Amino acid sequence: MATERKLHTIIIGAGTTGLLVAQGLKKANLPYSLYEYETDTSYQTRPREWGMTLHWGSEHVSNCLPPELVARLSETYADTSIDPTSVTGLPIYNGKTGERIMVMGAANPCRVSRKKLRNLFKEGLDVSYGKELVSVSIERVEGEEGEKVVAGFKDGSKAVGDVLVGCDGARSTARECIVGEEAAALTEVPLTMFNFTTRFPAGLAEEVRGLSPLFVSAIHPDHGSMFWTSIQDVPSSDPSTWLFQVLLSWTHDPLLKDLRSYEDRMAFFKQRSATYAEPWRSLGAAVPDDTKLPMDPGTLWDKASKWDNRNGRLTLCGDAAHPMTPHRGQGLNNALQDASNFVAALIAAASAKSPLADAVDAYDKEVLARGTTEMQISYKQSMFIHSWETLMQSPMVKLGMHQAKKDEGGAERGAEEGEAK
């Protein structure tokens, strides 16, 4: 792609979103610098690993990745043998009886490994590791023409560029630097989750994948919790080697403060899974007692509103722009569209088709509208599916996993909280 103005972009965060932005800028022959707060060692060895559901967002990947990497996208699948076009829906079960309630619609869904996806997107890129962002400013820099964006890092180093995009996740420091700490703060919602990976005995592994090759959800009508399993890695044909992601979530007590120790968490997990029908009862019993269960609250950016992009100099992308609860599987797909749209905005500005301020304003407006809509719908999904009384009114039933439209944002939060049990 031919461009005229060499706008230099500072990318904060080398997760999936930041890497895809960098690939798109590189493909367009636009300069970038990519900074990641983790070290090059911890980036590859972080103990928590999980999968993500890729569906409608896959169309945006080819806009940024070079063709040779697009052709290898299947390498990132949790199970590389599955053709996404062969999966037409994802089953939801009554956790008490084992009866299938419905099949949730999705557009060619597949489970991708976060680690595998990052490693593919990272090929051919230069990443500066160990760079923890602490400040962002717009100032004149000696030897540079006009005002520049200056990013300051904890180690005392600085980065200078024309545009800064925060791709540093739900708890984004870039967001804090752009809108201020109070306005950037996440809102915790009445949702608690165990989210971890484990292996099961061969027979159980085959049984749960017999229900669906990708993932299976069971919702218990008595206590409004969800037991969800998905395939995370298939290293061989031996089912005992298959790695699964397990999520148990609920919208009532106990809260994080009530289950501080790993022993307490495991006791609660075992007690709760024992109330489920098969195979979830046996899946819960098969989790080793010494497994350390991470426990997370649900969060979203409830204060999201138009941010001051300083004439197109500062913006956000991915989870930094719209952190959301996970039960609709929309975070990755929206992030992919963000990355593609941001790159398109920079190409327009660099080729003089649009002033930088106008290009980034248009990008920000679309991201904020789409992100706010999806945060609301995903939150509604999380609340409604944990209550048997509201389950069939949830976005899961009405929309499936398809991309939402602005007018599908749903009810006010307060009403949802009143209906969630």
Domain pair 9-79+113-186+300-388+397-419 / 190-299, same fold: no
Divide the 421 residues of the chain into consecutive groups of 10 and give the mean pLDDT of each group: 74 97 97 96 82 86 96 94 81 94 81 94 97 96 89 98 97 98 96 96 96 92 94 96 97 89 97 98 98 94 97 98 90 95 97 92 97 93 87 66 61 39 32
Give residue 413's pLDDT.
46
Query: CA-CA distance, 395 to 378, in Å (whole number)?
Result: 8
320: burial class by Cβ within 10 Å (0-12, 13-18, 19+)?
A: buried
Both ends of the chain: CA-CA distance in Å?
53
Please state whether the predicted TM-score (pTM) of the whole model is above 0.75.
Answer: yes
Give residue 416's pLDDT.
40
Give residue 418's pLDDT.
36
- Kindly give the residue spans of alpha helices, DSSP state H, lying in 7-46: 16-27, 42-45
Which of 225, 263, 260, 275 is CA-nearest to residue 246? 225
| Residue at token pair 């160990």 | 130
Query: CA-CA distance, 106 to 103, in Å (whole number)?
Result: 9
Which of 276, 281, 278 is CA-nearest to residue 96? 276
Q: Are 87 and 105 in contact (CB under 8 A)?
A: no
Give residue 419's pLDDT.
36
Length of the chain: 421
From the CB of residue 139, how many other CB atoms can be counted at a distance below 10 Å?
10
Which of 115, 151, 111 is CA-nearest to residue 134? 151
- Kindly give the residue spans of alpha helices, DSSP state H, lying in 291-355: 331-350
Give residue 53's pLDDT.
86
Q: Are 333 and 16 in contact (CB under 8 A)?
A: no
DSSP state of 77: B
**Going by CATH, does the domain composed of 190-299 fall within 3.30.9.60?**
yes
Q: Longest Cα pair distance anywhere in the chain, in angstroms?
A: 71
Q: Quote the tokens at residue 324.
A: 């959301």
β-pair partners for 128: 35
Give residue 421's pLDDT.
32
DSSP state of 106: -
Query: CA-CA distance, 117 to 75, in Å (whole number)?
Result: 8
Which of 49, 88, 386, 95 is CA-nearest to residue 212? 88
Give residue 395's pLDDT.
67
Q: Write down the domain spans for the chain.
A: 9-79+113-186+300-388+397-419, 190-299
Which of 78, 114, 115 is CA-nearest to residue 242? 78
- Paired sense of beta strands 163-166 and 314-316, if any: parallel
DSSP codes of every residue in 201-268: -HHHHHHHHHH-SSEEEEEETTTTEEEEEEEEE--SS-GGG-EEEEEEEESSSS-GGG--SHHHHHHH
Distance set, CA 340 to CA 66, 213, 321, 358, 403 (Å): 13, 29, 14, 17, 16
CATH number for the domain running over 9-79+113-186+300-388+397-419: 3.50.50.60
Phi, psi of 375 (to 5 degrees): -60, -40
Q: Quote the tokens at residue 299.
A: 């969060």
- On the CB side of 140, CA atoms within 13 Å amount to 4
| Residue at token pair 């636009």 | 30
Strand order in 158-161's β-sheet?
133-140, 147-153, 158-161
